[in-house]
Structure 1
């Protein structure tokens, strides 16, 4: 052990002294900017200030003074010869020019020109940004005092924008050898408060409009002055006026005068000015004179005079062929004849027409040249028939396997903008057996379904209400489908019918209500798994019933809030989903003897699931992602069980990654292998309660490769005592002691079209072990899973996309 410590100390010292930070690339009289920090009061967000650095230190590995990106940059620079790339560019350009000139067919010339542009663009990128290694890396951060002054200037502008006009910034440096640490000490001083607000418009109508909406103003007395609020207020006024008929208004007419003359009291007076147009005394209010809707723009090279024109509720519809229901289209048009011009209504019209999935493009413009405001809506239809084929790799809770999807879509099937779809899918995946975790088996899932989607609610409601509902993208979807699942221990056939209503109150919020969801399920199990189910039944667990012929009926509601496009970017964003389901509700009001005569298992239950996710960027290369998922499912029927698909399971690549898929829990239940006397993780463990969460630090490693450190925690439980699984029931006083904890490291390969994920999970706290052995590293690396006889070593997970 002593010898090992000496080797480690020698290695670490060598690492520091060998220039791993890239100091060997420094020239004489140059210093390396090693690190920098900010000391500021709590009133100022230091994270915002850190984004304003004019110079940044080189990125390092966590906890290790090692800058690999500098190595990459200078390694690539050794082979970077700009003259060589320029000569190669000229050679490729000449080579393709000859081929293009010699090509007889126009299609071949176009293909060659496209290929030439692609190759030349690649070389141009190398010339401008360096070769691949240089782009992966970064040049040495040589300390530059002029950039330090630029940083101070930026800080001062930021503090002024927050109302700290008397801030003072000091800068000091410390050095160790050629490494410099930079510190900015900020005294923000007193904040200026908005004391008085004035408005000057020269137009009584605008003054009255601003007065009516002053509660929505971003400028309020008594609050700190902030430049960002002035920008927001300019945007608010611009949209407010454009929504009230001021078609020609623009934000350039809005100005603000900020008076900080009251320096002793640190108060600010702000005057809002609405300037008059240069050619008129006041801004003109426009009413919509007429509305033209062309449904087939750019479809045929025929004169416009051949289009048919029909009027419907103030809209002039024009087309060559009467394809669409004017009644349904009109419910997505919110521009009204003789109404005030409204920018928001125009935008909502464009968005809701796009949501119909019938048009290639939607363009709305206004013509005011004749003194009257004419709204023109141009749409170009998508193909009525559409085939889609998709082949790829599928990973849900196991190992990768191929899948194939085929779908057929027919639009406007009844000329009411309906969509008929048929989808077929077959996928193969490697999964651990329900009754064995050591081997990987092939799981096959295939299915076919047909759906019919209407762009309205198919309900007995009035036409006027349907028109109002057009603003929330209402849809009714009828679906019938069949799914076949073949796993090593069971085969399952599921015939399903559902009726779902969906709508969106805003771009961030969507809802789904399924009034009818009926599934007829037939299963068969193999002898080993059947013996396991029989054993559970003898101990009072009736899980075997879920593999008998079953009828599952339910109603459900699903609400989703997606803020700032969660999952599509790495900005500060969040996601919340709430799911409610009631199973067998209608069976409470009918005689179920006919189901018993048919030997059909049926279920009564209710279920709730809440899933919250958040991404918080720290800097341009680092984000922290969080997730909390909780669920409760209570069977209240005579059989006291849930359909197998309705249970909660913990563990796997999208859950607690230190446990194999569906193997964690429930509670502190533990099954001991009689041969090894170790914890047995062989069997799937369904639960009725779930609580799990994850924290993941994601950083860019190099190029398209990211890495992540994560901590997962959670478990499942049963509601009642389960004699076959002691310790499985939920107890509000002790459930925290039964939260499993796992940690690990992962790599993400971001290929833009998909993200391949590799995670290695390590158990930290296992509630299935005896109390004194629940912390896995109680005995350091001499404890499982590092010993040879460990039940489960580090768990490796493969996934497509991010875990959450």
Structure 2
């Protein structure tokens, strides 16, 4: 008990010392290139009073952006805690007044019309430096709220019945329940000019999506009243005067604004015309050269007029199936944009424009689509780094040379055909440990291609997502030679669908793939010796057939200073084929369910620094009691260590669980598992630049492990149990250097085992920094960022 109390007191003392040190370092600010004995702004603070903490902090941050450059202190952080102010400007009260004017403008735009802003200065003499401490005190007072919203788009007297009907239509569209729910202006919401502007933009888009092609923002205005003019009408009735005075007093105490949406006088009647789609004309192969030639003849095809200069380049069906404008339908701005985006997304064309041409004096609009073809063939050689986590039996540090040839208009159907050849070697080996030779062929169809019975479920997807769906057919083969260990030959064929949807800062990518894969393993001397001493290797390293369906989703959200990506995938293998009785399938077909989830987030902490997080988890459940299916096959199994995972451990040298085994070549050198959990935190920052190459560094912490789901006698303690998760958790810390060549990044990380649950030496198990030595860490060479 006494030792425990002493230990707790010691930890408290250390915590206070660390906090004091951080406080000291955080206050270290150096000024350089200043004018001696001339006042300059050393620090500027903005104090927002009368609001809750979060609102005050956010408002102060926005007000800081309104400061004049001479008083907005710009400092650069070095070595994490030293701040440097370079060449500070001379302090001038005129610039303080300008800043207050700018801040008042922001406050008014946010609905604070009665704010007061004052300031105070304090000059501190330090040597020949006259440091000015500037404090702004902002009293927002009460924010104006919206009290009433009036929509009066059809209150203008118009003699033209057609225009009057158009005004009624605009009024009805605005008052539709769906549009009212989407409205940005609501009673009780803060009154802000930015909000009014955004509502105008929203309404104009709504009208354009409902046929009003030429309607613009200049055709509308928003009138607001923050005084209460209706309360100022003259009256001689004393009782009514008292009521008006009372209402005015309430309005002063709780300021509100009345908002009204109106139409400006419209001279051009076409702005109030609802248009319908007329003729759609497509120039599928327009170039600078042929644009000077006479117009080619029009060729009608499926309600579209095609004008090709060279009719042998594209099949008519490929063009018309990507045009979403239909003759006779009400004009919709979104359909026009979808058509333009669709053609711009196809690699067969370099540029696409969709122009609307209204017919004078009618309610019909014709469209002209101009398409500029891209080069049909392109090829490239490139250096590529592989980050293969849980794939074929190769490391996560492969670097190789790839050759790619691409046909962007295969079979005249805008199908993208790609041919690839590559050779790679493993970087983290002291000798040429792994060599890989691969070849691939793929076809990417710019539309849905389905078999009988598949069409209906695919069409249930929402239209904006369905229009981005693509079909793909792929085949590839790999040969992997691991020195004196094994030869592996793998062939794969797949058919799949993928699509994406982007909405503001969010994007979603979904794919479904039907996969057939066969792996042939030729065991060599080292692997055969391992199997003799470790029978579990025999059940992992063997031939395998995978017939699976893979469904994956990726969700990305990118903001100004942060981004996050969530990925999820599930693979189902051999479940349907399990009903077939066959000796070959019983021994070769892999039957399993595999689920993987990863989440990553990057936060910009400065102009040259980023804080990155990642969490990943995966589990593979192999079905059946067959000895070959007791655990996941090695080409789908999980492993830890290497340049992209637990960097304090060598590749496939971690786990499983708390199993303590020898890593000797004739014992248990390779570690695999049916499950993986891992989290990573990394602080990345810029060091310097040399000849256009950025040299970066990082501090990182990795935590995680792999496990078996079923008990494996060869690895006691290697199975997953929630109650011993902390005991099984491995922790590594380290730093690194990264050379950024823009087209490729090389990374050198140096990491230490902070906590090792599966060491070779039992005495080191779960001892923090056991036997730590400065040169006792693990050096990892990698390509690109680890996550």
Fold shared, TM-score > 0.5 on shorter chain: yes
2:326 alignment partner in structure 1: 336
Shift of 1:622: 3.9
CA 1:189 to 1:616, structure 2 compared with 1: closer, same or farther past 3 Å? farther
Question: Does the C-alpha gap of structure 1 residues 492 and 399 become closer, same or farther in structure 2, counting only changes over 3 Å?
Answer: closer
Which of 615, 621, 637 is the aligned partner of 1:628? 615
The 8 Å contact of residues 397 and 642 in structure 2, kept in 1 or not, is answered as no
Q: CA deviation at 1:308?
A: 4.0
CA shift in 2, pair 1:498/1:63, >3 Å: closer
* Corresponding position: 1:493 with 2:489: yes
Is the CA contact 2:41–2:134 (under 8 Å) kept in the aligned structure 1?
no
Residue 196 of structure 1, aligned match among 143, 148, 156: 148
One of 426, 430, 455 as aligned partner of 2:427: 430
Q: Structure 1: how far apart are the matches of 2:291 and 2:109? A: 57
The answer to whether structure 1 residue 460 and structure 2 residue 460 are counterparts is no
* Partner in structure 2 of residue 448 of structure 1: 439
Residue 698 of structure 1 and its aligned partner are, at CA, apart by 3.4
- 1:379 has 2:371 as partner: yes
The answer as to whether partners of 2:638 and 2:675 remain within 8 angstroms in 1 is yes
1:590, CA displacement in angstroms? 1.2
* Residue pair 1:715, 1:740 contacting (<8 A) in 2 also: yes
- Counterpart CA distance in 2 for 1:256 and 1:403 is 62
Quote the Cα distance in structure 2 between the aligned partners of 1:644 and 1:722.
Answer: 15
Q: Which runs of structure 2 are paired with 1:453-602 in the superposition (5 Å)?
A: 453-455=444-446, 456-460=448-452, 471-488=466-483, 489-506=485-502, 508-515=507-514, 517-537=515-535, 541=536, 543-564=537-558, 571-595=561-585, 600-602=587-589
Deviation at 1:493, TM superposition (A): 0.7
Query: What is the alpha-carbon distance in structure 1 between the residues aligned to residue 216 and residue 443 of structure 2?
Result: 44
Deviations 1:384-442 (A, max 9, x none): 3x14121325354769775222222334433333333221111223234xxxxxx4544
Q: 1:756 to 1:239 in 2, by over 3 A?
A: farther
Given that 2:282 and 2:368 are in contact with CA atoms closer than 8 Å, whether structure 1 keeps it comes out as yes
Distance 1:33 1:444 in 2: 59
Distance 1:551 1:63, change over 3 A: closer
Aligned pairs for 1:16-165 (under 5 A) are: 21-23=30-32, 25-31=34-40, 33=42, 41-44=53-56, 45=58, 46-53=60-67, 54=69, 55-62=72-79, 64-65=81-82, 67=84, 139-140=87-88, 146-165=94-113
| 1:523–1:549 CA contact under 8 A, matched in 2 | yes
The alignment status of 1:293 with 2:286, answered yes or no, reads no
Distance 1:229-1:693 versus aligned 2 partners, 3 A rule: farther
What is the alpha-carbon distance in structure 1 between the residues aligned to residue 322 and residue 532 of structure 2? 57
> Map of 1:228-267 to 2, 5 A cutoff?
228-261=194-227, 262-267=251-256
Structure 1 pair 167/712, CA: closer, same or farther in 2 (3 Å)? farther
> More displaced, 155-164 or 574-583?
155-164
TM-aligned CA distance change 1:723 to 1:173, over 3 Å: farther
Q: Distance in 1 between matches of 2:77 and 2:292?
A: 66
Aligned ranges 1:168-317 → 2 under 5 Å: 168-169=116-117, 171-172=119-120, 175=124, 177=126, 178=129, 179-202=131-154, 203-212=167-176, 213-261=179-227, 262-280=251-269, 283-298=272-287, 301=290, 305=294, 307-317=296-306
- Asked if the contact 1:395–1:799 (Cα under 8 Å) also holds between the matched residues in 2, the reply is no
CA deviations over 1:630-656 (Å, ceiling 9, x no partner): 111111132212121211222333333
Q: Confirm or deny that 1:604 pairs with 2:595.
A: no
1:760 & 1:141 partners in 2: Cα distance? 43
The more displaced of 695-704 and 287-296 is 695-704
Cα offset for 1:705? 4.1
Deviation of 1:619 after TM superposition, in Å, equals 4.5
Specify whether residues 430 and 625 from structure 1 end up closer, same or farther in structure 2 by C-alpha distance, changes over 3 A only. closer
Deviation of 1:356 (Å): 2.6
Q: Is the 8 A contact 2:539 2:630 kept in 1?
A: no
- Residues 161, 529 of structure 1: CA spacing in aligned structure 2 closer, same or farther, 3 A cutoff? farther
* 1:404–1:426 CA contact under 8 A, matched in 2: yes
Gaps of at least 5 residues in structure 2 are 1-20, 155-166, 228-250, 389-394
Residue 343 of structure 1: how far off its partner (Å): 1.9
Native 8 Å contact 1:289 1:373 kept in 2: yes
Q: Distance in 2 between matches of 1:59 and 1:267?
A: 44
Count of aligned residue pairs for this structure pair: 688
8 Å CA contact 2:548–2:571 kept in 1: the answer is yes
CA-to-aligned-CA distance 1:485-534 (integer Å, 9 cap, x gap): 1223322110111111222344622211112x111211223323332343
The answer to whether the 8 A contact 2:209-2:332 is kept is yes
* Partner SS, residue 55 of structure 2: coil
For structure 1, which segment, 660-669 or 469-478, has the greater mean C-alpha deviation from structure 2 after superposition? 469-478
Partners of 2:359 and 2:706 lie apart in 1 by 67
Counterpart residue number, 1:616: 603
| 1:747-766 residue CA offsets vs partner (Å, 9 max, x unmatched) | 44444434444433333333
TM-score by length of 2: 0.79
Aligned counterparts of 1:405 and 1:65: Cα–Cα separation in 2: 45
SS of residue paired to 1:388: strand
Name the SS for the 2:610 alignment partner: strand
Equivalents in 1 of 2:101, 2:295: separation in Å?
Answer: 65
Q: Measured at CA, do residues 226 and 535 of structure 1 come closer, stay the same or move farther in structure 2, by a change above 3 Å?
A: farther
- Indicate the SS of the match to 1:350: helix
Tell me the CA shift for residue 218 of structure 1: 1.5
Task: Give the Å deviation of 1:674.
Answer: 9.3
CA shift at 1:577, angstroms?
1.3
Residues 558-602 of structure 1 show CA distances to partners (whole Å, capped at 9, x for unaligned) of: 1122233x8xxx643222211010011232221132435xxx532
User: 1 CA distance for matches of 2:199 and 2:173?
Assistant: 14
Contact 1:276 1:283 in 2 (8 A): no
Whether contact under 8 Å (1:502, 1:513) holds in the other structure is yes
CA contact (8 A) 1:518 1:554 kept: yes
Worse-matched range after superposition: 641-650 or 269-278: 269-278
Distance 1:32 1:594, change over 3 A: same
Residue 355 (structure 1) aligned with residue 353 (structure 2): no
Aligned position for 1:715: 705
Structure 1 residue aligned with 2:677:
691
What does residue 405 of structure 1 align with?
402
Decide whether the 8 Å contact of 2:568 with 2:595 is kept in 1.
yes
> Are the structure 2 counterparts of residues 253 and 716 from structure 1 closer, same or farther at C-alpha, using a change threshold of 3 Å?
farther
Q: 1:621 to 1:150 in 2, by over 3 A?
A: farther
